[in-house]
Structures are given as C-alpha cells and as structure tokens.
Amino acid sequence: MADNDSRSGAAYHDKAILEWVDGLHHPHDGGLAYAFGAPERHGMPAIQVGRGEGALLGMLLRLAGAREVVEVGTLAAYSTIHLARAVGPTGHVWSIEYDMKHAGVAREVLSAAGLGARVTVVEGAGVDALPTLESEGPFDAVFIDADKANYDRYGQWAAKNLRPGGMLIGDNVFLFGRLLGDKDDAAAMRRFHEEARQHFDTVCIPTPDGLLVGVKR
C-alpha cells in the first residue's frame, strides 16, 4: 500500500533500514565487494549504483533472458559484474567508459571476478563508441549510467539497436532533482523520457534518483 505522503515523494527509510535490507537481500560476495570498494581505493568518484539497484539490474536481465547487453558508463565495473553474471557464460556485455583510468580499473576488477572474457570494455565517449557496436546487435538490453547531457542520444541509439522486446534501463533519470529545470542537461533528460515513451512500454521506478525501465514495442 501507499499513502498520500509517499505518493508525493516521502520516503520511509533511513541509513539503518537500508543497511539492514542490503545485508539481507543484496549481500556482497568477494567479487562485488571488491568492485564496490574500487572507486575509493583508486581515487575515483564513488558514483556506482547502489546495492539494491545493482541486484535489480541482474534480476531484470535474467527475467528477460538477456544475452547480448550494452552498458554506457562502466566506472569500476560494479554494475558490469551484475550484468555479466546475468547474461551467463554464453552471453556478452560491451561496456563503454570514457575515462582511460576508470577503464583500466574496470578491467582489473572484472578479471578478479573471473568475468574478463565475458565483458569487453570499450574506451571512448558514448556517442562515438556506440556506432562501432552496431554490427554486434540487435541487443537484448541497454543500460545507461553515463553523462546525463547525452541520455537522449543514448536512448535514440537503444531504440534503433534493441530487438523487439529488448530492455532499456536508465539510471539517474530524476537528474538529482533537476529534471524539470531549465538547463540543457535537464532538457536532454526530459527528451530521453519522452522518446523512450514513444518506442517502449515504460515505467519510472522512484529509486533515490529514478530508474527508467522500458520494453521495446
């Protein structure tokens, strides 16, 4: 059930509750713990998805039977591990990372998790790298967690390169509370929402910063 407060944005959790449910429902094994701590070890921004969101990514891909997946925004490969485990030994993940240092950390993390052969880390800007992957498609899922000003372009690419029934997932779609603002990145994010709705059956899950999930018509 919900109430008027929760429907208006109130949240009934705090740090202690989140830690308890993470420990119960989203436990870390060695590979995930190593990946989650990598940004702090390497002086990178700790902006990876949360433990619950990571587990949800893997569950969605398993439910969809996804085998060929593209990720835009690797960072230290925490979300990538969830994706790679979900696609199984016969699947593959292409993960795009703009920062060369981050890409190197991601490869080391994936190797430590025993998933190096299941993931190709592609270095470069998303808008440049995505066209180079088109020959590998059509894809089963595209997960976007990268530079917010280009979400609309990433969504357009996903609409063209996902199979019918393929899944689009976008993180941070509330744009840190700035979705309805007048900046260029807010306008781009609103286009991402609107264009996703044109091509996908969509739902926007009110995670801390919003998670859009779409199934291509």
Domain of residue 179, residue span: 13-216
What are the distances in angstroms from CA 161 to CA 69, 70, 108, 136, 194?
11, 10, 29, 9, 18
The pLDDT tens digits for 174-211 are 999 999 999 999 999 999 999 999 999 999 999 999 99
Instruction: Report the number of distinct structural domains present in the chain.
Output: 1
Q: What is the CATH number of the domain that holds 156?
A: 3.40.50.150
> Is residue 146 in some structural domain?
yes
| Distance between CA atoms of residues 217 and 211, nearest Å | 19
Look at residue 17 and tell me if it is in a domain.
Answer: yes
The H or E element containing residue 142 is: strand 139-144
Angular region, 146: left φ>0, alpha ψ -120 to 50, beta rest: beta
Position 18 in a domain = yes
The reported pTM is 0.97
32 lies in some domain: yes
Angle at 212 between CA 145 and CA 151, to 5 degrees: 45
Confirm whether 4 is domain-assigned: no
Query: How remote is the C-alpha of 7 from its chain's centroid?
Result: 25
Let me know if residue 3 belongs to a domain: no
Proportion of the chain above pLDDT 90, given as a percent: 94
Share of the chain above pLDDT 70, in %: 100
Look at residue 114 and tell me whether its pLDDT is greater than 70.
yes
- pLDDT, one tens digit per residue, over 10-49 is 888 899 999 999 999 999 999 999 999 999 999 999 999 9
User: Would you say residue 2 lies in a domain?
Assistant: no
